[in-house]
Structure 1
Amino acid sequence: MTRSQKNTAIFFGVFMGLFSFIESMIQAGIIDEDSLLSSLRRMLISGIISWLFYFLTARFIKTKSPQEQGPKIELDNNELMVLQSFGTHLKGIEAVGGKLVLTDKRLVFKSHRLNIQPHELSIPLTDIESVFSYKKLGLLNNGLAVTTSNGLVEKFTVDEPSVWTEKLASVTPLRV
């Protein structure tokens, strides 16, 4: 199980525990010491059970790598792939799912067909001014922002954005 999957499992467990806590607080009506302790106990137990359920089921689900599934991105002659993963491109208010590929010449995103706004975006490395990772919604450290030479900021959601930042810095001179 990767670090990202463990973080997701912990987040899921905490969320489910919090949900159970809120539900029990609503049912209790008036909060007294006994009901508060009981609610906290239920929150902790349901969080642990949810985390264990996620952890155990994630071990048995076989997922394919980005190389094996998802949209096919055609590379130009003499173009070498540096990094690829599944991700989303934030286009307006829609998070468009697809595949993000870094080559030695460009950064390419290609959406899968099941989006409202299917598209392909290709940014030559020479047009990239800066790259930084950020916390999406202020919580999850999975955001990657790429600023182009014309001032546009393209935002992506990827696992391990720090790896993307390092790889982009290794193939092009930019501000990280």
Structure 2
Amino acid sequence: MSGLIFGLIVWIYCMQTAKTEIATFLSVFCVLVFSPIAYFKVFWGIKDEISFKEINKTNIKYSSRANHIYNGISVGGNLYLTNNELIFQTNLINFTQKHEFLVNLTEIKIVSYYKTLGIIENGIQIESETNIVEKFIVPQKEKWLNLIKKEISG
């Protein structure tokens, strides 16, 4: 679809600035080249084999929409605080970065605020006993921080 749209835009532009034959050739070229490129760019890395852990709704202490900083990219989904785990699951929109993150609350060593780009304090970060740091952009960061600290302290 993106190749068709790009081809149409090129054709309209070339019709204004060049001959009809050039416009037609360039638009067909764009459709034939950019359609497969866009298709493979979007669908090449989709991971359908991932299945998320079933979360018992009665164990959820708090949840909200959140973004997980994953491979340097902010990936949208839902963050859940349960009786014994912190769980992040991507939403359906993020099909190319589909993943789940789970950490047992007993493995969390430090919970602190996180600054996006080192400027905007709009999230939390957790550090595990094995010194792995995970970052989340969340609404109500104070509530998340306090609830996680309360759960890990006892």
For structure 1, the residue ranges without an aligned partner over 5 or more in a row are: 1-71
Which amino acid counterpart does residue 103 of structure 2 have in structure 1?
I
Residue type matched to 1:107 in 2?
L
TM-score scaled by structure 2?
A: 0.60
What amino acid does structure 2 have at the position aligned with 1:108? I
Q: In the TM superposition, what is the alpha-carbon distance from 1:147 to its structure 2 partner? A: 0.4
By how many angstroms is 1:73 displaced? Answer: 6.5
Task: Indicate the SS of the match to 2:153.
Answer: coil
Aligned to 2:3: none
- Matched with 1:95 is 74
1:148 equivalent in structure 2:
128
- Which protein has the larger Cα radius of gyration, Structure 1 or Structure 2? 2
Runs of 4+ residues over 4 Å off in structure 1: none
SS in 1 for 2:148: helix
Deviations 1:7-61, CA, capped at 9 Å, x for gaps: xxxxxxxxxxxxxxxxxxxxxxxxxxxxxxxxxxxxxxxxxxxxxxxxxxxxxxx
Instruction: Indicate yes or no: 2:88 matched with 1:109.
Output: yes
Identity within the alignment, %: 30
**SS of 2:115's equivalent?**
strand
Q: Which runs of 5+ in 2 are unaligned?
A: 1-51
* Alignment match, 2:150: 170
CA–CA separation in structure 2 for the residues paired with 1:135 and 1:149? 22
Q: d(CA) in 2 for partners of 1:87 and 1:93?
A: 15
> Cα distance 1:124–1:158, how it changes in 2: closer, same or farther (>3 A)?
same
Amino acid at match of 1:162: E
Question: In the TM superposition, what is the alpha-carbon distance from 1:120 to its structure 2 partner?
Answer: 0.8
* 1:128-163 CA distance string (max 9 Å, x none): 111001221233221210101111000110012111
On the 8 A contact 2:114/2:135 being kept in 1, the answer is no
How far residue 117 of structure 1 moved from its aligned partner, in angstroms, is 1.2
Per the normalisation by structure 1, the TM-score is: 0.53
2:106 to 112, 116, 126: 126
Task: Determine the structure 2 residue equivalent to 1:161.
Answer: 141
Secondary structure of 2:145 counterpart: helix
Q: Does 1:80 align with 2:59?
A: yes
Partners of 2:145 and 2:69 in 1: how far apart?
A: 18
